[in-house]
Amino acid sequence: MDKEFCSCEAYSHEQSLDQFMVGLEKRNPGEPEFHQAVKEVMSDLIPFVKENLEYSETCILERLTEPDRIISFRVTWEADDGSVRVNRGWRVQFNNSIGPYKGGLRFHPSVTQSVLKFLGFEQILKNSLTGLPMGGGKGGSNFNPKGKSDREVMRFCQAFMTELHRHIGPNTDIPAGDIGVGAREVSFLFGQYKRLANEFTGTLTGKSLEFGGSLGRTEATGYGCVYFLNHMLEHADEEISGKTIAVSGSGNVAIYAIEKATELGGKVVTASDSGGFIHDPDGIDAEKLAFIKDLKEVKRGRISEYADKYSSATFHEGRPWSIPVDIALPCATQNEINEAEAETLIKNGVKAVSEGANMPTELPGIHAFKKAKILFGPAKAANAGGVAVSGLEQSQNALRLSWSKEEVDGRLRDIMEDIHSKCVTYGEAETDDPVDYVKGANIAGFIKVAKAMNAYGTM
C-alpha cells in the first residue's frame, strides 16, 4: 500500500483525527456526507486503535474506509409521453468481511456517490452490531419517484435492475428498500431480478408476503428504534409512558416509530415531510395514524392534509424541533437536526434522542446532546432493527419457512436488547455521565469486522 495512503505507523505515535481526515478528504474529494460519517466514527476508533495495536499495525482504518468496489451505471427508461430519460445508478459494495453485502437502495434526487458511501460505511458497523452475518453495502439512484406514474416507476425499476442484477445474488449482495424504495419498488425490482437470473432466491429483502417477504419487516425499523429508546430510558431509570415525543418524517420508519411509541404510552405530537410538519398537541392516536398510513402508503399525499382533516393540529413549514418535547425521534433523512435545533431541543427539556433515520444529527448537534448529558441513540444502533429483520427474511428464504409475526418481533426485541448491551459495554462512562452510545456502537460494531479483516491477512 502506498505510504501516503497508509499511515498506520503514525497510530503508534500521535496520529490525530485531523490528520486522518486530511488524507481521507484528499482521496475522496467533494464527498461531504462521506467525510462527515467517517469523522464521527473515527473520533472514537482512532483512540481505540491506538490502544489496541493489533488493529493499527494492519492499517485497518484506511482499509475500512475504502469500499471494496463501487459500481456506477446508466439507467435509461421511457416516460409515459414516450420521451427518453436518463438517470445514474450506483451500488457501493463496501465491505463483505462478515457476510454478503447488505443494505438498501435509495431513489431520491439528492442521491450522489457521497451519500451512498456514507450510508454504505455506516451499514458495515450497523450490520455487525446486529450479530447477523451481513456485510455493508448501499445503492440507489438520483431518480425521483415523486409525481411519476406506477408504470413509469416500473419501467425505471426494470431498467435499473437490468444492469444491477449481474452484480448481486443471495450469497453476494442483497439489496433492500430505503427512501423512495418501498413495497411497490421492491416488487418491480425483484420481478425483474427473478426474470433475468432465472431463479427464485432471496436476493432482495423487504419483499411482499406473497413472494418471500417476512412478517414484521415493514414495522421493524420504527419498532426497533423505539425498543432501543426504551432500553436507554430503562437503563437510566426512566420510561416512555407519559412522555411527549416529536417525530420527523411520515414514511416507513416514522409511521411505525409513532405506532410503537404510542403503544408504549408515549404521546407523539408531530410528523413531517419535505413540505413541513404538523403539530397535534392532542397526540397522534391509532385512528389518526391510520389516516397517515393511508395518506402516505396508498394515496402518496402530503402531511399538510392531516391538518385539514384534524382541527386539533396545525401545519408549519420547516422541521418540528422547536416544539417542546421529552423525546425526539428523527426519522426522515440525514442532517435534519443542526446545532441550533439541538440547542433548542435541549433548552426545551428533551431527555432522549433515538435516531430512526441515518445520520439525522449533524456532528455539532451530537456534541451538544452529549455535553448536555442527553441520552443519545445513534442511527447505527437505534435503526438497526430494519436490517436485522431483513437478515431474518434471508434466513426464512434459505430455510423456505415463514415465521409468525410474534416470532419475528421476539427476535427483533432480543437483537435490539443485545445491541443496547453491547453499546453499554463499550460506552459506559466511569463517572455519573450517561452511557456514550455513539462510542459504544462504533467500537462494538468495529471489533467484529476488524477481527475478520485481520484474520484474512492483509488484502
Residues catalogued as catalytic: 138
Choose one: 14-22, 80-88, 326-334, 428-436; the region binding ligand NDP (CB under 6 A). Answer: 326-334
Taking the CA atoms of residue 203, residue 207, residue 210 and residue 216 in that order, the dihedral angle to the nearest 10 degrees is 120
Which DSSP string do the residues of 395-408 spell out, in sequence order? HHHHHT----HHHH
Choose one: 23-31, 147-155, 183-191, 352-360; the region binding ligand NDP (CB under 6 A). Answer: 352-360
Nearer to ligand NDP, 192 or 383 (CB): 383
Choose one: 248-256, 308-316, 405-413, 418-426; the region binding ligand NDP (CB under 6 A). Answer: 248-256
* Residue 250 lies near ligand NDP (rule: CB under 6 A): yes
* Residue 251 lies near ligand NDP (rule: CB under 6 A): yes
Q: Which is nearest to 168 in space by CA: 75, 107, 102, 73?
A: 102
Cα–Cα distance for residue pair 51/65, rounded to 1 Å: 20
375-377 sheet: strands from edge to edge:
314-316, 276-279, 267-273, 244-248, 327-330, 352-354, 375-377
Choose one: 7-15, 60-68, 91-99, 175-183; the region binding ligand NDP (CB under 6 A). Answer: 175-183
Single out the residue of 8, 253, 284, 419 in contact with ligand NDP (rule: CB under 6 A): 253
Task: Give the phi and the psi of residue 89 in degrees, each rounded to 5.
Answer: -115, 155
Return the sign of the alpha-carbon dihedral for residues 286, 292, 298, 299. Answer: positive
Name 266's Cβ contacts closer than 8 Å, sequence gap at least 6. Answer: 240, 241, 242, 243, 244, 245, 327
* Residue 179 lies near ligand NDP (rule: CB under 6 A): yes
* Residue 221 lies near ligand NDP (rule: CB under 6 A): yes
- Please report how close the Cβ of residue 19 comes to ligand NDP at its closest, in angstroms: 30
Is 423:437 a contact under the CB 8 Å cutoff?
yes
Indicate the SS3 state at residue 238. Answer: coil
Q: Which is nearest to 69 in space by CA: 34, 117, 3?
A: 117
Cα–Cα distance for residue pair 446/300, rounded to 1 Å: 39
* Residue 350 lies near ligand NDP (rule: CB under 6 A): no
Nearer to ligand NDP, 253 or 313 (CB): 253
Residues in contact with ligand NDP, counted by CB under 6 A, come to a total of 23
Single out the residue of 120, 136, 177, 216 in contact with ligand NDP (rule: CB under 6 A): 177
Beta-strand pair 327-330/244-248: parallel
Nearer to ligand NDP, 146 or 347 (CB): 146
Interaction residues for ligand NDP, span 357-396 (CB under 6 A): 357-358, 383, 386
* Residue 12 lies near ligand NDP (rule: CB under 6 A): no
Cα–Cα distance for residue pair 323/281, rounded to 1 Å: 10
Single out the residue of 58, 333, 354, 442 in contact with ligand NDP (rule: CB under 6 A): 333
Nearest residue by C-beta to ligand NDP? Answer: 251
Q: Which is nearest to 387 in space by CA: 131, 92, 102, 90?
A: 102
Q: What is the CA radius of gyration of the chain?
A: 21
Choose one: 20-28, 167-175, 247-255, 448-456; the region binding ligand NDP (CB under 6 A). Answer: 247-255
259-278 footprint of ligand NDP as x/- string (CB under 6 A): --------------xxx---
DSSP at 167: G
* Residue 114 lies near ligand NDP (rule: CB under 6 A): no
Nearer to ligand NDP, 249 or 434 (CB): 249
* Residue 252 lies near ligand NDP (rule: CB under 6 A): yes
Binding site for ligand NDP (CB under 6 A): 177-180, 182, 221, 249-254, 273-275, 331-333, 356-358, 383, 386
